[in-house]
Amino acid sequence: MTLSQALRLFAVAAIACNVATLGLVAAVVRRRVRSRELVRGRAGAGHRSIVGVAALLATAATVGSLYLSEVAHLEPCRWCWFQRIAMYPLALVLLVGWARRDRGVHLYGLPMCVAGTAMSAWHYALQHFPDLGGADTCSLASPCTVRYAWEFGFVSIPYMAGSVFVLIGGLLIASRRR
């Protein structure tokens, strides 16, 4: 698989995350699926299944970012590293929470999702507006304003990461025990 094919695949996956997030929000707003029903399994997916999906998403994002840096040799910038600092342990926390059937895993995962989403949004803004104050914190060798990917006219690597963080956060909220 070439780098451009991988980036296109990752962009499609990010858009799929956006669609899934919108579906989750719509289900909650329309009250078709109450989070209590999700937890008890009446809606087809119990707490453990939801956390398992979240763990799978975080693990896939981790593997994807490692592919981009270690196989495709794209050097991550400073803000990319900050997002990785939120995503990599999130994958581990969710896997352990899933394996232990920890109903409180959202307490550990949600702060990482919020931090990762904020960092992704800031990095995405830096790509659009390089004159923002945070752009000067990056190195010349790996500037934060460079767009290694710009699929469909708007999907960059920080957008991809942010999409995963938001969906995982939504899933963790849905998995909460009420």
Give yes or no for residue 171 having a pLDDT over 80. yes
| Nearest-angstrom CA–CA distance, 33 and 35 | 6
Give the DSSP per-residue string, 109-123. HHHHHHHHHHHHHHH
Is the predicted pLDDT of residue 173 greater than 80, yes or no? yes
Question: Would you place residue 34 in the very low, low, confident or very high pLDDT band (cuts 50, 70, 90)?
Answer: low
3-state SS, residue 103: coil
Q: What is the pLDDT of residue 43?
A: 45
Mean pLDDT along residues 39-47: 56
- Is residue 116 within 8 A of residue 83, CB to CB? The reply is yes
Q: Give the residue, 164 or 141, on which the prediction is more confident.
A: 164
What is 3-175's CATH number?
1.20.1550
Q: Which helix (H) or strand (E) holds 97?
A: helix 78-99
Percent of the chain with pLDDT over 70: 85
**Tokens standing for residue 33:** 């699926």
Taking 50 as the threshold, does the pLDDT of residue 178 lie above it?
no
Is the confidence at residue 33, as pLDDT, over 70?
A: no
